[in-house]
Structure 1
Amino acid sequence: MTMSCDDAGTSGVQRFEVFTGAGKRRDWPPEVKLSIVAESYSGQESVSAVARRHGMIPSQLFTWRRELRKQMEAQGFTLPVAPAPAPLFVPAVIEPSPPSDVVPMAKRPRRRRRSSPSAVELEIDGVAVRIARGTDKGLITAVIEALKATR
C-alpha cells in the first residue's frame, strides 16, 4: 500500500513562502504620526477613540505620545497640561414623604441559626477541623491523612 505522504522528501518544492510577522505592521510617516498625536491631545475624544479611528491599538498611540513628550523635554520644551475639570455633582433633592395611613406590621424577632454541634473538634498544626455527628469514617480518615501529609 502506498500513501500520498510517502514521497514527502523526494518531490521538488513547488512553492515556498516566508512569513515574517503578523502582517499588521505599518510604517507611519512622521507627519502622519504627529497629526494623530496632536489629535489625541485635542481633548475632543479619548486617546483610545482616536487610535481606533486610525486603525491602531491604543497602546501604540500612548507610546507615540510618550516618545514625543520625551523628545520635547530633551529639547527643553514641555507639553501643555490641560487642567482637570472640576468635579460636578448632581444636586440632591429630598422631598418629604406623604403621610401614610398604613400602620407598619410589628416585626417578628429573628431566630438565630445555630450551627450543628460538633461531636469532635480536632486541631493539627493550627488547622481546626470540626467533625459533625454521623460523618463517614472514611471521610474523617481521609481529612486527617491529608492534614498530616501537608506538614
Structure 2
Amino acid sequence: MEIINGVERRRQWRVEDKLRIVAEAERPGARFADVARRHEVSRSVLWMWRKQVRAGTLVAEQAPVFLPVQIMPEPVVMSGSSSAASPRSPAPCEAGSGREASQIEIVLPDGTALRVPETIGAPALRRLLSALRG
C-alpha cells in the first residue's frame, strides 16, 4: 500500500516521451493496459495521446538545422544602367515611416532565394524553410 503525504502533482510529460509511449502501445501484439501500467500513466490519458497523434496535434518538433552562411557584398549598381532600382533593395519597414527594414537573404543550394526582415522570429523562419524544402 502506498501512502501519499502532501499534495500530489500532475506529471509533465515531454512530447518525445508521449510519442514513444503511444508508439509502444501501437506495436503489434502490445496490450494497451500493460503499456499504460508499465509507464504509470492512466489508460484514458494514453487514449487521449493516441487520439492527438492520429489527429496530428501531437507531433515531434524538428530539430533546428544549421545551414552554411556566406556574406557577400552588395552589388554595385551603375548610374547609367537600365534598371531603376537595385533588385536587392530592402522593402520599407512601415508605410510612411521613411525607414527601411534590414533584410536577410537566404539562397538555398537549388538557387531559391528567400528575403526576410531581420526581425523575423525563429519559428516563422523554420516554417518558411521547411515549406521550401518540402
TM range (shorter): 0.3 to 0.5
Greater RCO, 1 or 2 (C-alpha within 8 Å, sep 6+): 2
TM-score, normalised via structure 1 length: 0.32
- Higher gyration radius (CA): 1
TM-score, normalised via structure 2 length: 0.36
